[in-house]
Amino acid sequence: MDNNYADFKEEKLENVMSREELLLEHTHSFIVEYSFSKNTFEIFPEQNHYVNFDWKQLGPEREKEFLKTVFKPDVELYKHFIDLSDVTTSIRRSINIRLYVVPHIYEWFRITLLCYVNEAGEKEKTVMVFTNAEKEIEAIHELKSLVKVDLLTQLPNIDTFSMQTWELLKNHPDQQYAIVRMDMQKFRLLNQFYGTKEGDNVLRFVGVKLQECMDSEELYTYCHLSSDIFAVCMTNDMKSINRVIKYIQDSMDQYPLDFEMNMSFGIYMITEQDKIDRIPIVSLVDRAAIAQRVKNNYMNKIAIFDESIAAKEYAEQNVIMEMNNALGTNQFHIYLQPKTDAVTGKIVGSEALVRWIHPTKGVISPADFVPIFESNGFISEVDYYVLDKTCATIRRWLDNGIPAKPVSVNLSRANLYSPRILNDIMECVQKYNVPHDLIEFEITESAFAVDNVHLNNLMTELQKNNFRILMDDFGSGYSSLNSLRELTIDILKIDIKFLPGNRDDKRAEIILRSVIGMAENLGLDVVMEGVETQEQIELLQEIGCKTIQGYLHYKPMPVEEYERIVCEQADLTYDGSKMNE
């Protein structure tokens, strides 16, 4: 009986042991127990300890020996963790630390330490549970680093860059700094030609070269902003900045790819005021980008943000702030520039142009707002406004007996790709019940190069509805002839550049004759724009050009003035007050 009981007890104990072992094995854990009174160490289980340490060699130097198993950068942390010198009551603490599992290879472990202290304040024993937490902690680290660094290049992202840059500025306040922003010209093309995998290789390469190059500077921060854009904050010494620029460009020149990898650089010198106002770092990078946009081109790859750019940026910002209000308070006005018969000089039609007449600033030149509207998309609103006012004007002409001649309105490039453009046009023209042959649409030549299939569809729809299409600025771009082959336009508006400066310019004259001849053969009408001298008009008459537009006959003018002239030419009495009803 006694024997049986002893066997049962032993079996039971074995079961418990094996369950504990099972638990420890499955959680990749082991326990180290130390008794202060007996000065003994126990390891459980005796096998499978998962770390590179021989527990059997537990001599008096064991703690010192074990430090060799701790990953070097974590040693101080571990020492602090196991220091129990000021412990007076029982405690429990945990830490995550890297330990070598085999020579040179380390993994994360979570260590939980329990120290038992008796009522007399004497330490009795410590129990340390080591659990391998490699996968879990690596995943957490990976997630944490995603917030701070860019995954592709492993460089800091913009948020980390902003934080580090402010730290830099704060810690070294006497130093002057600059932001250098860089991107690669034609990076999109590189991705297209060689694939995004190679594009990513190139970006990683830029990242490494940036790190290598900044290593010789004393004070700096850097980041990979997005796509092919990188930024650096460094001392504003131009010699150092030029060295960085040269290093990066030279490195790119060595990249083994048959592709011209030109980098473009924008520089912004951080001012004391920027620091006082705590201008966001991202805005400073934007200023470097503005310098690039304004000044960089194929030849000029380095641009510094200066006063002229600052003034331009300020003016742009003003335009953007005021544009909506301007549209709502009718500050945009329609001016008409007549098109005339080259022989009689009489008005045969006109082009509607927009003028911004500001209540305090006066007339704002289209050159000062059209490019801004084009880049921010507001041009669509303005285009529609011009079309609406033009239709309303034509309606008034028809209702009041003023000779109604065709008016052409411009369709901006940004607007051409709007999905609602055709609907907008049809609705507007229907609203005023304007005969379609009195509205023409001018599309600038440079728009034709982008997506001729889309453009052709739009043009076909407009032409089906009896609107005529003009190709504006013909000859100013490089795709005109091809576009002429692909697209069925109705009227060619020839750019002033084709007009010979004087009658001795035989080459220009030959080109002009040929282009007009070609237009005739294609069945296109021609409008010659920019005619300014009598000599030019004589040549155009000789060549057979029928319609002209230019300062020689008329400048752009307010609608009322245009109406007065067409009435005079038709021998009608112009009554402005009635006409404007």
Interaction between residue 207 and another protein (CB under 8 A): yes
Coil, strand or helix: which one is 216? coil
DSSP annotation of 227:
T
- From residue 200, how far is each of 197, 206, 459, 518 by CA, in Å? 5, 10, 40, 48
- From residue 516, how far is each of 143, 327, 440, 512, 539 by CA, in Å? 66, 39, 20, 6, 12
How close are the terminal C-alpha atoms of the chain, in Å?
124
Stretch in the footprint of another protein (CB under 8 A) among 77-85, 122-130, 200-208, 567-575: 200-208
Closer residue to another protein, CB minimum distance, 105 or 453? 105
Closer residue to another protein, CB minimum distance, 90 or 211? 211
524, 543 Cβ separation under 8 angstroms: no
Stretch in the footprint of another protein (CB under 8 A) among 248-256, 278-286, 362-370, 396-404: 248-256
Closer residue to another protein, CB minimum distance, 65 or 424? 65
Stretch in the footprint of another protein (CB under 8 A) among 98-106, 120-128, 179-187, 518-526: 98-106
Closer residue to another protein, CB minimum distance, 110 or 355? 110
The two counts, helices (H) then strands (E), for the chain are: 21, 20
Exactly one of 121, 256, 359, 362 binds another protein (CB under 8 A); that residue is 256
CB of 152 to another protein, least distance (A): 9
Exactly one of 40, 94, 154, 466 binds another protein (CB under 8 A); that residue is 154
Type of residue at 337 = Q
Interaction between residue 211 and another protein (CB under 8 A): yes
Widest CA span in the chain: 138
CB of 150 to another protein, least distance (A): 10
User: Phi/psi at 120 (nearest 5 deg)?
Assistant: -80, 0
Closer residue to another protein, CB minimum distance, 143 or 453? 143
Interaction between residue 463 and another protein (CB under 8 A): no
367-396 residues near another protein, rule: CB under 8 A:
none
Binding mask 62-91 for another protein (x = CB under 8 A): ---------xxx------------------
Interaction between residue 198 and another protein (CB under 8 A): yes
Closer residue to another protein, CB minimum distance, 106 or 562? 106
Total residues in contact with another protein, by rule CB under 8 A: 25
User: Phi/psi at 562 (nearest 5 deg)?
Assistant: -60, -45
Which residue bears the tokens 């022989």? 343
Interaction between residue 208 and another protein (CB under 8 A): yes
CB of 104 to another protein, least distance (A): 4
290-309 residues near another protein, rule: CB under 8 A:
none
Interaction between residue 196 and another protein (CB under 8 A): no
Interaction between residue 400 and another protein (CB under 8 A): no
Sequential DSSP letters for 365-388: PHHHHHHHHHHHSTHHHHHHHHHH
Exactly one of 36, 66, 100, 116 binds another protein (CB under 8 A); that residue is 100
Distance CA 349, CA 340 (A): 7
Binding mask 172-191 for another protein (x = CB under 8 A): --------------------
Closer residue to another protein, CB minimum distance, 81 or 205? 205
Q: Residue 109: CB partners within 8 Å, gap ≥ 6?
A: 51, 96, 97, 98, 99, 130, 131, 132, 133, 134
User: Phi/psi at 494 (nearest 5 deg)?
Assistant: -90, 135
219, 213 Cβ separation under 8 angstroms: no
**Cis amide prior to 173 (ω within 30 degrees):** no
Distance CA 236, CA 245 (A): 13
Exactly one of 216, 376, 514, 541 binds another protein (CB under 8 A); that residue is 216
Coil, strand or helix: which one is 220? strand
β-pairing, 547-549 vs 525-529, is parallel
Interaction between residue 105 and another protein (CB under 8 A): yes
Exactly one of 30, 106, 397, 448 binds another protein (CB under 8 A); that residue is 106
Interaction between residue 215 and another protein (CB under 8 A): yes
Interaction between residue 212 and another protein (CB under 8 A): yes
Closer residue to another protein, CB minimum distance, 134 or 535? 134
Interaction between residue 359 and another protein (CB under 8 A): no
> Mutual orientation of helices 366-376 and 307-328 as an angle, nearest 10°?
80
Q: Which residues bind another protein (CB under 8 A)?
A: 71-73, 100, 103-106, 153-154, 198, 201, 204-205, 207-209, 211-212, 215-216, 254-257
